[in-house]
Amino acid sequence: KAGVTQTPRYLIKTRGQQVTLSCSPISGHRSVSWYQQTPGQGLQFLFEYFSETQRNKGNFPGRFSGRQFSNSRSEMNVSTLELGDSALYLCASSLSILSNEKLFFGSGTQLSVL
């Protein structure tokens, strides 16, 4: 069974640009969560999608958005990039039959904003 796939693996952008990251969950998993990881703040929850609906959102500005498609694949978008957006963005999937299931993380997208 293939794991969670995130593309691209690395991205370099400049301030003011926007970026779209992609995530394909494990087959059969319907919940996709996004996390931002930085050395200073650790793992911070961005949002979670299930059946194309955002069920949860973390404390990030509106520049961070996401969506989920009918095949459970998800994308997240960051507009008007700032230097502080440089981070590892991790996508995680789960079956989400229960609310406390373990997460399967992808390898992440390392975003550098110059």
Residues that bind another protein (CB under 8 A): 31-33, 42-43, 45, 48, 50, 55-56, 58, 90, 92, 94, 96, 99-100, 102-108
- Comparing CB distances to another protein, the nearer of 70 and 99 is 99
Smallest gap from residue 107 Cβ to another protein (A): 5
Smallest gap from residue 72 Cβ to another protein (A): 13
The DSSP output letter for 26 is P
- Comparing CB distances to another protein, the nearer of 15 and 110 is 110
Number of helices and strands in the chain (H, E): 0, 11
Smallest gap from residue 75 Cβ to another protein (A): 16
- Comparing CB distances to another protein, the nearer of 18 and 51 is 51
| Closest to 8 (Cα-Cα) out of 94, 103, 91 | 91
For residues 36 and 87, is the Cβ–Cβ distance under 8 A?
Answer: yes
Cα atoms in the 13 Å half-sphere on the side-chain side of 25: 27
